[in-house]
Structure 1
Amino acid sequence: MQRYFVSSEDVKGNIVTIQGDDRHHMANVMRFQPGDKVIICQPDESTHIGAIEHIHVEEITITLLEELDEQKELPITVTVAQGMPKGDKLELIAQKGTELGMHALLPVQMDRSIVKWDGKKEAKKRARLEKIVKEASEQSHRTIIPNILPLISLRELDLQQYDYCLIANETEAKQADHSSTFREVLGKINKNDQILVIIGPEGGFSEKELAFLNHDHVYSIRLGKRILRTETAPLYVLAALSFYFEEWS
């Protein structure tokens, strides 16, 4: 069944009103008819099967029927702090990260970031990213939509609000005698822990940034023996976390 996310303003009792792009998608792309059923995800993370009642020019009304007991989210909360990459790489990270269970995406301006956002550009980019993660959440049958957080500098990062912080550090991949810090920290993480994954931009981290990130609960990890692109690294970490906590455990 097709899945749609709605805001609290769209729900009155057991009646949901769909407008805008979703209304267009349901009526003109999917060509739904009254009586057809869809899945509706609400802000409180409850999910229902809904039946289409009426299709109007500007809106569609849906009656909520059966509540579903879905367990689709990672048992840990993962925020990706992504050093600002070039081009449309952040859009790829947002889309694929959503599919892999990311809870939030935090764009971070770093010393070696080439891309710069001003206020107007950030608003436009965030709106685009929010659209991407919404569509990816529907496609991958998530029960929540990941948050797109405001752009910050690395030194504004509050490391203390997370239980574990993981830095994808390319220098670790070059060490022949490397011990698997990633494997060790996975064994320490518990259900419901808050995890921050910090990824550098194309040029990697500066020495000053690595010094800033030198804290007790910050772990510098290796993502295999190869050097990964900035857009590949967060997906590697998310895939590993998904496998470990959803399949292996």
Structure 2
Amino acid sequence: MYQFFVEPGQIQGKRVTITGSDVNHIKNVLRMRIGEEIAVSNGMDGLEYRCGIEEFLEDEVVCTLRFVKEDGLELPSRIYLFQALPKGDKMELVIQKAVELGAFAVIPVAAKRCVVKLDAKKEKNKLARWQGISEAAAKQSKRRIIPEVMPVMSMGEALRFASEMDVKLFPYELAEGMGKTKELIGKIRPGQSVAVFIGPEGGFEDGEVEEASACGFVPVTLGRRILRTETAGFTVLSWIMYQLEGDGPESSQLGQPGI
């Protein structure tokens, strides 16, 4: 079942229209035919709209809504991954896998030890590419939303943005005691907002750790081994996904936290 994202306004009663690059993909790459069924999401309400292709126009594909499926594929909490800018193209991998693992948003952070420095032009181009990677990963993993890749923040900006979130995780290589990590993750509940901060290749500076602690973050360990920056985020997100996924009704809806 192929899935496509549309704007909410493209779903009007029983009529659903697909525009943009997906038109060419449906007609000339997938070579789909009238009557075939596709899944459509508007990236907002967590629903899947099952549609049948009705008509091919020059710049749009017209579909008819058959039924709406509400299957709880989204995590019941909003997970924000604050990823310090890594070297090379690692950020692309981080975004792809974070989306697959259920992150609600990814925030690039310019920590002090980050080697990568982006000017305004580079950041604009990077954000466009990163958002495209998020959309592709959302389609592949059958997400009902497209997680936003937000503009790059300084460490201070990121900490202030996350200060009101319900759970704040700050993996730090000098932290000890896996029990504290398990306790914090074990307390995450549906509907909460969760901030996860991941440092750059050289780790966070002591001053950044102190600033995070002052904002209510608790430094935690991810185990006895030192993980690469692109591995650390996957590890935490996997643990959170394991904690939140379940068969009960409380896990079937995307939470609506205040942030």
TM-score range normalised by the length of the shorter chain: over 0.9
Provide runs of 4+ in structure 1 moved above 4 Å: none
Separation (CA, whole Å) in 2 of partners of 1:48 and 1:9: 13
TM-fit CA distance, 1:2: 0.7
Q: Which residue is equivalent to 1:89?
A: 90
Structure 2: gaps (5+ residues): 249-259
Q: Which runs of 5+ in 1 are unaligned?
A: none
SS at structure 2 position matched to 1:180: helix
Give the Cα separation in 2 of the matches to 1:119 and 1:8.
30
Distance of 1:220 and 1:248 partners within structure 2: 31
1:155-185 Cα distance to aligned partner (Å, 9 max, x none): 112232211110111113xx5xx34211011
Normalization by structure 1: what TM-score?
0.93
Q: Distance in 2 between matches of 1:5 and 1:78?
A: 21
Q: Distance in 2 between matches of 1:17 and 1:75?
A: 29
Deviations 1:35-83 (A, max 9, x none): 0000010233322100101112322111111010111111221000010
Equivalence for 1:235:
234
**SS of the counterpart of 1:125?**
helix
State the aligned residue count.
245
Normalised by the size of structure 2, how large is the TM-score? Answer: 0.90
Aligned partner of 2:149 in structure 1 is 148
Structure 2 SS opposite 1:108: strand
Which residue is equivalent to 2:221? Answer: 222
What is the RMSD computed on CA atoms of the aligned residues?
Answer: 1.6
**What SS is found at the alignment partner of 1:203?**
coil
Residue aligning to 1:138: 139
Other-structure match for 2:64: 63
Work out whether residues 83 and 113 of structure 1, in 8 Å CA contact, stay in contact via their aligned partners in 2.
yes
1:164 maps onto 2:163 in alignment: no
CA distance in 2, matches of 1:116, 1:17: 40
Deviation at 1:12, TM superposition (A): 2.9
CA distance in 2, matches of 1:216, 1:110: 16
Aligned to 2:191: 192
**Residue aligning to 1:7:** 7
Within 5 A, what are the aligned runs for 1:19-168? 19-42=19-42, 43-157=44-158, 158=160, 159-168=162-171
Distance 2:215 2:180 in 1: 13
Aligned residue for 2:229, secondary structure, equals coil
| Shift of residue 216, structure 1, vs aligned partner | 6.7
CA–CA separation in structure 2 for the residues paired with 1:121 and 1:36:
41
Give a deviation string over 1:114-152, Cα, whole Å, max 9, x none: 111111111111111111111111111111111111111
State how far apart, in whole Å, the 2-side matches of 1:49 and 1:99 are: 22
Q: Kindly state the Cα deviation for residue 189 of structure 1 after the two structures are TM-superposed.
A: 2.1
- The answer to whether the Cα contact below 8 Å between 1:180 and 1:221 also exists between their aligned partners in 2 is no
| Amino acid in structure 1 at the alignment position of 2:230 | E
Question: Distance between the aligned counterparts of 2:27 and 2:100, measured in 1?
Answer: 26
Other structure's SS at 1:135 match: helix
Residue 189 of structure 1 aligns to a residue in which SS? coil
